[in-house]
Amino acid sequence: MDIALLVLGFVLTLVGILGSFLPVLPGPPVSWLGLLLLHLTDAVPDDWWFLGLTAAVAILVFVLDYIVPAMGTKKFGGSKAGMWGTVIGLLVAIFFPILGVFGIVIWPFVGALVGEILNKADNKTALKAAFGSFIGFLTGTFLKFVLAIVFLGLFIAKAWEFRGALFSFS
């Protein structure tokens, strides 16, 4: 059973890395599930502080991923309409992945642009705000990717630490 949990946990940490880039997969929470499965093995002792802290970080990054693009829009001179457009664009990308991976980049940009234009902003201001949305998206993606890589490293380190107990077939 430990081997199955180990393999499934490892797969989830890898899927979490993919989830850093794909809008249909919540990367950090999926990676965290991999850590949880490793700790559910008989070989690795329960460390609820470790799991609680990593879960809190995963949730924080997951939430920030929705907030950062809107913050980028505001930082680059966007209005509330542009920020709402960014959020709506993110939701469109998640629930209607028409353009695949590119949708998560395009829809927040388009949402911010439309929001600013509807708010009667000139084209230059609207484009600047949409660019801010794109920068916010890249920042969120980078955060998710780094966290997923850290979780993979923690998974490997913990599995290596308890390799004797994980791979003993007695």
pLDDT at 136: 79
pLDDT at 122: 83
40-97 pLDDT tens trace: 999 999 899 999 999 999 999 999 888 887 777 778 877 778 778 877 887 888 777 7
DSSP string, 13-41: HHHHHHHTT-TTS-HHHHHHHHHHHHHTS
pLDDT at 170: 58
Which residues have a Cβ under 8 Å from the Cβ of 1 and sit 6 or more positions away?
41, 42
The candidate with the shortest Cα–Cα distance to 51, out of 40, 63, 64, is 40
116-157 pLDDT tens trace: 888 877 888 888 877 887 787 778 889 999 999 999 999 999
The answer to whether the pTM exceeds 0.75 is yes
* Cα separation, 41 vs 139, whole angstroms: 35
